[in-house]
Every structure is written in C-alpha cells, then in structure tokens.
Amino acid sequence: MKRYLYLWHRWLGIVTCVFMALWFVSGMVMLYVGYPKLTPREHLAHLPALSAQGCCVSLGEALAVADPQPARIRLSSVAGQALYLFDYASGKALAVDATSGQRIAPTTRERALASAGQYDPHAPMTYRDAVQEDLWSHSRALDAHRPLHRVQLSDTDGTLLYISGQTGEVVRDASASERGWNLIGAWLHWLYPLRGIGLDGLWSNLVIYLSLAASVMALLGAVVGVMRWRFSRPYRSGSRSPYKGWARWHHVGGLLFGALAITWIFSGLMSMNPWRLFSSAQPLDTSAYQGGPLNAAAFPLSVPQALARFADQGFTARELEWRLIGGAGYVVGQDGAGRTRVLSMHDGQVLQRLPRAVLEQAAQAIGPAMQVQQLEAYDFYYYARAEQSMLGHLEKRLPVLRVRFDDPAQTWLHLDLYTGEVLGQLDQPRRASRWLFALLHSWDWLPLLTRRPLWDGWMIVLSLGGLVLSVSGVVMGWRRLRR
C-alpha cells in the first residue's frame, strides 16, 4: 500500500507541480494587480457632467424605439452625446440618442475613436481593430457588447481601451502595466493561455480536473511526508528526514506548508463551481422587488427637471439610472466620485439614502422574510475588498439591509440603502462557497483584511512556502523523467 501511495504522489506531482508553481507565482502577482477591468469609479471619472441644454427626448419616446422590457435604463454620455442605454436580461445592450430619439447603429471605427476621445481628450490615439475576444477581454460581463473595438492611447499609462460594438461605451481599460503584470498574473493563474487556441469549450473542465489532480497529489504528499518523518528517533544520518538536497526541501516544505497548499488548491477548485455544487436548484425570484416592468408612467419628471433637482442640492450628475422599487419610481444620480443621490418620483425630493421602510416593503413582495437586519459594520458575509481583487470593484457601502427569506434555499439579500439596488443573493450553496472558496483561497477574514500589511505578509509567506514545495517537486520530477 505504501508503494502505491508513493507512486501516485510521484506521478501526479510530475503532471501537476508545474501548474502549482505557476499558480503560486501568479497568485502573488494577483495580490496587487488584478485582471484588467473598468471599475465604476473609473467609468464615472471619465464622463462629463450631464447637461439639460438640448436634452432630452422623454423616457417614453426612448422606450418606444428600444426593445421592450429592459432590465436597466441609464442616461450617460458616449462619444460626446447623451444616450439612453438599455440592458436586457437576455444579455443584450442597445442605445438610443437622447437628443434625436433615434436608435444608435452598431459602433463604427469613427464612433469608437470619438468615444475614446471622450475618455481622454488629450491623448493621441490609434484605432487598432475590432475583436470578439482577446487576452484582456475573457469576461462574460462583456458578452452584450461584442464585438469590441480596440483603441490604443498614447498616454503615460499606455492605455488600451475596449469600446462596445453595440452602444459605443468604453467598457474596459487596460494599462500597459496591467497587461504586463497579468502575463504572469491572472492571465496565467486562470490558465487563459488555453483559451483562444481551440480549447475554449474544454477550458473549464481542464482547470477543474487539473485542480482535482493537484488536490489529490498534495493530500497524498502530506500522508507520505508524515510517514517518512522520524518523530521518535532520527535516521542514522542524524536527520529526521531520510532525504537530501531538493528532496529534503520538498519533504520539510511539505510538512510546513502542505496543509495550506492543500487548502489553496482545493479552494481554487471550488472557485470553478465544479459540477455546479454552488448553484441552487431553486434560486429565489427577486423580480417582484421591482414591482413591475420599467415604464415611462412611473417617472413623470423629465431629464431636465431631474438634473435641476439634483443641481439645487449642489449635486452634479454624470449618469442617471431609472429604478423601480416596489412599484415606485426613483432616479439615481451618480457624480464623478461615485457618490449617489436618489430623486423620488412621488414627491420630487432628493435623498441621500432611501428610507428603510421602502426597501423592506418592496422585499416583502418577494416572499416571506424571516428577518430584516441593518448592518452598520462589515461581517463575514458582507465586506469590502481591495479594488484590484476579483470583486473589489463592487461598491459595498454601509449601512446595508440584510433580508433573510424562508425559501427552500434560505436566501439572504443585501439591499443598498443608497440606491435601492439588490447587491447580491446569498443562498445556502453560495454561503458554502464563501467558506470553501473565498475564505480558504484568499483569506477573506476580517481580522486579517482590516490589519494590512498583516494580511499581505501572511499571504506572501505562505505563497513562498508553497512555491518552494512545488518548485522542488518540479526539479525532482524532471530528474525522474530524465532517468
């Protein structure tokens, strides 16, 4: 039996240790440089203030030329024009000119350059091409905007912009520094080199089964390592390990860092939601929270009136969003710093935060609520991360409402008091993912996250230990194959 443990560990290690070494190196890069994305703050910072002069056709006119039943409606500036932007549950996006009321055609080269010019009016630029997908646009969030036009800016950051082929918006920016670090960061960590070479359909399963093989290999290694360590009396050499050279580094490194290596590889496997372990069989339907489809009747105030109300409060809006909460209409304004104000269509008041009772009443339409709690501080399930992390760009403001429902999946909703937005669903499978992925993989634990650089030191030391473990395994595997 011992022999089979050694053999399985050895040959699985020869296959997977190279990937483990790559994962540890790229993971350390990802602590500080994330995969390129356009964060909401970056998006707003590059928009001009909305002007009521010459704007706009009514929301009803814009809806008449758009497709029916949009999931989201915004007013923003694209390529120097005010546009109504419509997003749909099907994953489609389209735009309507807010001045003429005409539907915007798919983006042309000239419009892409104009959009890039709004993003940075001072930088020389070069139109590159239009692509469906490339190294820095492997993201399902961009599917509604494909094809993507690429425009290279000659600014100090060497920024590459991705322009929506449907609406003309800038939907992603990637600086030269981000692109360079990501070649040994997220792009490598997620094995994106396997995409774009005809393996896209197999990519997910390749990552899952490589991670599974590495998890088994590391677990077997931990068992073998303990078996080979002399706890009571040393070997004749005086050492408690029978190995020398790289093998000794591997043995001792495995005893020190093996358990953490196992948790990291296993939690990386969990990040892929293998075999849909974290997908609920009965997800909670939250459509009733809105209280009906978005339609013009719920928003009697025009765009100029809404902008004037915001301006009266000293608030300069760069983007507007129309939102229904429990059947009542609200217009959410955002400024260049990401701050928000809410204009109630009921009484025309501009609010910094929505009344808690409004959100509670809207949530009751979804189903029976077990408990409603207002969080004044972050906890294990609701917390903010650094912007470069995978979901760090998502706004996690306080206070926030947590509503627990008595549905089969025991779902929790987090409701943003500043905008009324449903920030996310946490049912039982997703809460399990919080433990098995986020906690074990990136140590999303508040006592560490709130005490940086303690968290940084913890992650780097453990990563270096895992790197020693995997590199020594690569060396021994190479020597074995050469024999």
Task: Give the range among 50-54, 57-61, 272-276, 403-407 with minimum mean pLDDT.
Answer: 50-54
Q: What percent of the chain is predicted at pLDDT more than 70?
A: 99
Confidence category of residue 236, pLDDT binned at 50, 70, 90? confident
Helix (H), strand (E) counts: the chain: 14, 15
pLDDT of residue 228: 86
pLDDT of residue 215: 93
Tell me what percent of the chain is helix, strand and coil, each rounded to the nearest 5: 40, 20, 40
Nearest to 53 by CA among 278, 261, 303: 303
pLDDT of residue 378: 97
Enter the tokens of residue 80.
């120097």
Average pLDDT of the chain, as a whole number: 93
Q: Where does residue 464 rank: exposed (0-12), middle (13-18), buried (19+ CB within 10 A)? A: middle
Selected residue with higher pLDDT from 368 and 346: 346
Q: Is the pLDDT of residue 178 over 90?
A: yes
DSSP lists the bridge partners of residue 161 as 151, 173
Q: Is the pLDDT of residue 200 over 80?
A: no
Question: Whole-prediction pTM value?
Answer: 0.93
pLDDT of residue 176: 97
Q: Is the pLDDT of residue 2 over 80?
A: no
Q: Is the pLDDT of residue 452 over 80?
A: yes
Query: Contact 217/11 with Cβ under 8 angstroms?
Result: no
Q: What is the average pLDDT across 443-448?
A: 94
Q: Scanning the structure block, which residue is given the tokens 């194959």?
A: 481
Confidence category of residue 284, pLDDT binned at 50, 70, 90? very high
pLDDT of residue 7: 77
pLDDT digits (tens, 9 = 90+) for 90-119: 999 999 999 999 999 999 999 999 999 999
pLDDT digits (tens, 9 = 90+) for 361-385: 999 999 887 899 999 999 999 999 9
Q: What is the average pLDDT across 260-265?
A: 92
Confidence category of residue 197, pLDDT binned at 50, 70, 90? confident
Nearest to 458 by CA among 291, 257, 179: 257
pLDDT digits (tens, 9 = 90+) for 202-233: 889 999 999 999 999 999 899 988 988 988 88
Enter the tokens of residue 460.
């780097």
Q: CA separation (Å) from 86 to 68, 322, 323?
A: 10, 11, 12
pLDDT of residue 453: 92
Nearest to 107 by CA among 91, 119, 93: 93
pLDDT digits (tens, 9 = 90+) for 26-69: 999 999 999 999 999 999 999 999 998 888 999 999 999 999 99
Q: What is the distance, to the nearest Å, from the Cα of residue 95 to the centroid of all Cα atoms in its chain?
A: 24
Q: Scanning the structure block, which residue is given the tokens 């595997």?
A: 477
Q: What is the average pLDDT across 291-314?
A: 95
Q: Is the pLDDT of residue 481 over 90?
A: no
Query: Contact 463/234 with Cβ under 8 angstroms?
Result: no
Q: Is the pLDDT of residue 483 over 80?
A: no
pLDDT of residue 207: 92
pLDDT of residue 273: 93
Q: Is the pLDDT of residue 439 over 90?
A: yes
DSSP string, 246-300: HHHHHHHHHHHHHHHHHHHHHHHHHHT-GGGTTS-SS----GGGTTS---GGG--
pLDDT of residue 195: 82
DSSP 103: B
CB atoms within 10 A of CB 299: 22
Q: What is the average pLDDT across 174-179?
A: 97
Q: What is the average pLDDT across 305-321?
A: 97
